[in-house]
Chains A and B, each alone.
Chain A
């Protein structure tokens, strides 16, 4: 007797980890702090306090593709992204930063933080070029690890979010059930 695979059953190979099984908030914070000290400045601190983002926000992110697939997303107010870019460039910052300068510097911070987070995840994985704009949507609230920090008094979030929707919940087969 042959059976047809309807695709409804969950296979062993379908099992995929969610980010909270692979990394925690403390590790993400430690990675971000290290990046901040190296890129932004030795005295720059990230304070882990939840705080509301302003209305005008900007995100930068890199995608990780591998055993876990998703994005590492930094989001902050546009003015804070500009201040971050200026801090990153220090004395080589132009007097007037244009959008391209901000996108480039803010994107590089996402690249460095994302690269370090990728290294903490199971591999091998690929890392995309950084992107800047509106953050990718959270596809699965269960595959999300987010850290809220404050830098120079301004809120910033670091979100490690899966790119795939949740797997369907397996339902018990009624195929062999005998009606009473």
Chain B
């Protein structure tokens, strides 16, 4: 399985990449939504994208909207991973097309539980 980690913080990208790699994912990362779209435009379409909200250049919400406007990327699951925890913001993200919402801070176990909920744990890990 493939995952694209989009976050402007290198530290957070490393943390999320570490969790996903340990679960068996092949991971690429991007520093903002625009870089994330560049990866998709290369033809590298992941099963999962984890997306921070507040980023320079292109924020997470803009990225989600851009992905949703392209039918070729419809099968990709999008999970916001962000410190934005206001209810109205969560509703906005889900309305824009995000599938799930993970609030920072989180533990590796909580992250894994979310993936299980989405049916995105690689089979050998889920067993």
Contact = CB atoms under 8 A, between A and B. Distances in A.
How many chain B residues sit at the interface, stated as a range, is: 20 to 34
A124 B105 CA distance: 20
Given A104-B9, A127-B54, A129-B56, A115 B88 contact: no
Interface stretch (B10-18, B38-46, B64-72): B10-18
Contact of B88 (A42, A101, A107, A124): A124
Contacts of B104: 38, 111-112, 115
Given A92-B17, A130-B9, 19 more contacts: A34-B105, A38-B104, A38-B106, A38-B107, A39-B15, A85-B11, A89-B11, A90-B18, A101-B10, A108-B9, A114-B83, A115-B83, A115-B85, A115-B103, A115-B104, A116-B105, A124-B86, A125-B86, A129-B8
Interface of B: 8-12, 14-15, 17-18, 54-56, 82-86, 88-89, 103-107
Q: Nearest 8 CB-CB pairs, A to B?
A: A115-B83, A38-B105, A105-B11, A92-B14, A119-B85, A108-B9, A112-B104, A35-B105
